[in-house]
A and B are shown apart, each in its own frame.
Chain A
């Protein structure tokens, strides 16, 4: 007979338990889950990367809806269990659903501990446990104001770093003298504090929160010493407490958590508990590795294996903040019967400490260089006698026996039973066996089959090295095309890292992204320069020497080394006065060719480089600015005459074109952007093959994008129809800003749109008003620093060296 299994809670521990159970005893149970959160099972460890913007929610889902359907599991989302009847063996949810069980699993997790200080109930006080908390923080971060995180442990620091990368001004308030004191000794805590402060996060230690100030919402935090820290957002990350109330209400034994035996059974033999709500052997757990071990044991018991039993072990700790490497495991307190070995390298920011007792490793703290963490952890776990290698122990595995090893060789030297993935308890041998026997080719395959690196992901590098070792040349980790030969990173990773690591100079980018060359090459430097300009319009100082010559001298180089000059004619409209000024310049500087361009401008070709500043000076007097006809930026907005003259015109297309051009000129983009506005569907401005185009119709403005009429020919896609000129401008600007932030350098809009998907672009620009507004605002902000006419700047003497020879030699002798 099929038994009924009910699970209360749908976090990572019960999710893992089900995976084991479905494998060991398929079909034995009919399974029902009640989840108070209205969603599927996702990887909570990865909430920090979601908060910092490095990952999206979709990327951290463990079991999608399809998984529940495939395994015939009934999942009640958003159902909180309000009562359990142990004699009738039923549970009832807050929506009135009652189900019976043969076996019940309680996996209600934990709740954040809220300091019971005055003001803790004010709007603006958040916790950091689930996706709702992260979404609330992301929303609050949009105001770019001040946040205080209460708690300087693992969770608090990840929250602080995430809020900081979202642009908030963050302070951390911590009760103890050093950060993460449960995992780090004071020296490592100090280095961590410095690294946190280097990110612009303020740290208050020995800081006791007295109250939260504010009338209708949070305004500040007051500490016991009287310090007042202004804040509009407060995140409580001061610890967690197991959710054991439900079990307590029905008379199951509860201590700190729900008390279970080593087989995960509560005091009621038909009721199991696991995860953060469970207490086993006097311990409650918050890290994923022991929770997964509970899941394994509970599944085995449910499958009928009465021998399965949970054993306590220390779990290594890592902080998931990009750019901060720390590792800690075991016991690191000082004591008479213990010795320690310490290595410090202040310049490199490295600190390592290994604590020994009876020639065995009992604890390790690594900061700044953590590659040997798995090795030290392995020595500790196996209680290896280290007396033979004591002198070189601290230098790590590579120094033991023979010459120093590269990272891959170091992994090769690990024994098969050494643990690679701490979260999921996966050993090296399990991974290499799976790679060979199942023919795995990618890291995603390895994750799917072994779970290695599938949780926090910090061992991904080790797993990749194992793949290289096992598959040799056949393994190609670079499924991402590197930007150029100077790096292994692709464009998208580089853009993301520039933002999340807050890289604001070219030198910082080359250093932090581990460029293989001293100063890049002609491919990567202009791209990096653009990405930096786009990410930090106000703070980044443009790197002149990383721009292509056209963008350095603001003219277009020709085959003979002369230049062409194109002044801006807004919307393609000119006047007698402008034409006369152009004619005069052509005569004065003997410019050989004058031509009308495809974008409705006038091109003067064959200008000598040394004449450029004088040509611009004369054009400037007539009111001309640069047409940016050379730039990876906004080029031209082509128009037809619209309702001003045309008998078919439906709207003022000329006026709108001029308005768009005046709003957007000067902006840098991944590749050139050409636009057009046509006054009616006859489309005389040829708007339907442009990067962005507008077709005016009686009912408003049809916005088009992603056309091409160059190497490729492609008609545009319709973005949407809007009613007013104001809306048209807003949608177009938001679209271009989205492209500016996501496009790869030299990737035109049509290629970007194809890569991202037209539907996704419509979703963000048309359907999501908040996103559209945010894109628009970021564009407007960036224009404050971009709309400076490069010609008038150079007429005033900027970059003078560019236009003059350094010297002239040998002419006197030649004349003799």
Chain B
């Protein structure tokens, strides 16, 4: 397994997100108010909205296009909506955030 550093937790505002570009598409990295960090695909399962641009609350994000609420932990749509976005395994070592390179490739396959 190949862990790649994508930056520091301090690069992401609390209750905010930043993007990581990959050949397979954009990943959104979220930081919650409790400093948990999550990575999910930056595409809402509803109409493909950029989840990284949404408002982050608790461990969830509200999509800016049509207000779907997506769990950052499971990638599942919360409430009455149904749909799932892919989550990407991630590890925080000290302040550094790593993601698994293979996890990126698996999507292309």
A binding-site residues for B, Cβ under 8 Å? 517-522, 525-526, 544-550, 553, 557, 559-561, 801, 805-811, 813-814
**CB proximity to A under 8 Å, residues B49-64:** 49-50, 53-58, 62, 64
Task: Point out the residues of chain A lying under 8 angstroms from B55, CB to CB.
Answer: 521-522, 525-526, 545-549
Among candidates B11, B24, B53, B105, residue contacting A806 with C-beta atoms closer than 8 Å: B11
Contact, CB under 8 Å: A549 / B18: no
Cα–Cα distance between A164 and B64 once the two chains are bound (Å): 41
Q: B13 contacts which chain A residues (CB < 8 A)?
A: 544-545, 801
Q: What range describes how many residues of B lie at the interface? A: 35 or more
A801–B11 contact, CB under 8 A?
Answer: yes
Give the docked Cα–Cα distance between A501 and B20 (Å). 42
Residue in A522, A801, A813 whose CB lies within 8 Å of B57: A522
The answer to whether B58 and A548 have CB atoms under 8 Å apart is no
Complex Cα gap A813–B24 (Å): 12
How far is the CB of B91 from the nearest CB of chain A, in Å? 14
Q: How far is the CA of A549 from the CA of B55 in the complex (A)?
A: 8
Contact indicator B62/A522 (Cβ below 8 Å): yes
Quick check: B18 and A806 within 8 Å, CB to CB?
yes
Chain A residues lying within 8 Å of B65, measured Cβ to Cβ, are: 557, 559
A residues in contact with B34, CB < 8 Å: 518
Query: Nearest chain-A residue to B104 (Cβ)?
Result: A810
- Give CA–CA (A559, B14) in the complex, Å: 26
Q: Is B72 an interface residue (CB 8 A)?
A: no
B50 contacts which chain A residues (CB < 8 A)? 557, 561
User: Is the Cβ of A557 less than 8 Å from the Cβ of B57?
Assistant: no
- Among A519, A545, A559, A805, the residue within 8 A (CB) of B47 is A559
B89: Cβ under 8 A from any A Cβ? no
- B15 interfacial by beta-carbon distance below 8 Å: yes
User: Are A805 and B33 CB-contacts (below 8 A) given A518-B58, A525-B57, A548-B55?
Assistant: no
Contact of A517 among B18, B58, B99 (CB under 8 A): B58
Q: State the Cβ distance, B69 to closest chain A Cβ, in Å.
A: 7
A546 partner residues in chain B, CB cutoff 8 A: 15, 55
Q: List the A side residues contacting B49 at CB < 8 Å.
A: 559, 561
Measured CA separation A363–B64 after assembly (Å): 58
B104 to chain A, nearest CB (A): 5
B20-65 residues at the A interface, CB under 8 angstroms: 20-24, 26, 29, 33-34, 47-50, 53-58, 62, 64-65
From A520, A521, A805, A809, B104 is in contact (CB under 8 Å) with A809
The answer to whether A519 and B20 have CB atoms under 8 Å apart is no
Give the CA-CA distance A814 to B108 in the complex, in Å.
10
Nearest residue (CB) in B for A810 is B22
Does B21 contact A808, Cβ atoms closer than 8 Å?
Answer: yes
Q: Which residues of A contact B53 (CB under 8 A)?
A: 549, 553, 557, 561
B99: chain A residues within 8 A (beta carbon): 809
Instruction: Given A561-B49, A561-B53, decide whether A806 and B64 contact each other with a Cβ distance below 8 A.
Output: no
Which residue of A has the minimal Cβ distance to B26? A805
A208 to B65, CA, bound (A): 65
Q: How far apart sit A322 and B96, CA to CA, in the bound complex (Å)?
A: 45
| CB<8 Å pairs between A and B, sample of 29 | A518-B33, A518-B34, A518-B58, A519-B15, A521-B58, A521-B69, A545-B13, A545-B14, A546-B55, A548-B64, A549-B55, A549-B64, A557-B50, A559-B65, A561-B50, A561-B53, A801-B11, A801-B18, A806-B7, A806-B12, A806-B19, A806-B29, A809-B6, A809-B22, A810-B4, A810-B22, A810-B101, A813-B23, A813-B101
Q: Return the contact of B23 from the options A522, A805, A810 (Cβ within 8 A).
A: A810
Asked whether A807 lies within 8 Å of B7 as measured between CB atoms, the reply is yes
- Residue in B closest to A799 when the chains form the complex, CB atoms: B13
Q: How far is the CB of B108 from chain A (nearest CB, A)?
A: 8
Given A517-B58, A557-B65, A805-B21, the answer on whether A545 and B15 have CB atoms closer than 8 Å is yes
A517 touches B57 (CB 8 A): yes
Q: Which 3 A-B pairs have the closest CB atoms?
A: A522-B62, A806-B18, A814-B23
Chain A proximity of B25: nearest CB distance (Å) = 11
Query: Once bound together, how far apart are the Cα atoms of A559 and B12, in whole Å?
Result: 25
Q: State the Cβ distance, B20 to closest chain A Cβ, in Å.
A: 5
Q: How far is the CA of A544 from the CA of B14 in the complex (A)?
A: 10
For the complex, give the distance between the alpha carbons of A85 and B15 in Å.
77
Q: How far is the CA of A549 from the CA of B44 in the complex (A)?
A: 15
Q: How far is the CA of A407 from the CA of B47 in the complex (A)?
A: 46
Q: Do A519 and B19 have beta carbons less than 8 Å apart?
A: no
Give the chain A neighbours of B67 by CB distance below 8 A. Answer: 522
> Which chain B residues border A545 with CB–CB below 8 Å?
13-16, 55-56
Q: Measured between alpha carbons, how far is A801 from B31 in the docked complex, in Å?
A: 14
Complexed CA–CA distance, A553 and B53 (Å): 10
Chain A residues positioned under 8 Å from B21 (CB to CB) = 805, 807-809
Residues of B within 8 A of A809 (CB): 4, 6, 20-22, 99, 101, 104
Docked pose: A10 CA to B27 CA in angstroms = 72
By a CB distance below 8 angstroms, the chain B residues around A544 are: 13, 16
CA distance A520 to B65 in the complex (A): 19
Contact code string B55-91 (vs A, CB < 8 Å = 1, else 0)? 1111000101101010000000000000000000000
B residues within 8 A CB of A550?
A: 64
Is there contact, CB below 8 Å, between B19 and A522? no
Cα–Cα, bound, A688→B21 (Å): 49
Q: A517-B57, A548-B64 are in contact. Are A805 and B101 (CB under 8 A)?
A: no
Task: Using A521-B69, A806-B29, A810-B105 as known contacts, list a sample of 19 further A-B pairs with CB atoms less than 8 Å apart, ordered by residue number in A.
Answer: A518-B34, A518-B58, A521-B57, A522-B62, A522-B67, A545-B15, A545-B16, A545-B55, A546-B55, A549-B53, A549-B64, A559-B49, A561-B48, A807-B6, A808-B20, A809-B22, A809-B99, A810-B23, A810-B104
**A810 engages B57 (CB within 8 Å):** no
How far apart are A788's CB and chain B's nearest CB, in angstroms? 20
B59: min CB distance to chain A, Å: 9
Contact A520 B18 (CB under 8 A): no
Residues of B within 8 A of A525 (CB): 55, 57
Complex alpha-carbon distance, A807 and B23, angstroms: 12
A814: chain B residues within 8 A (beta carbon): 23
Q: From residue B72, how far is it (CB to closest CB) to chain A in Å?
A: 13
CA of A517 to CA of B33, assembled, Å: 12
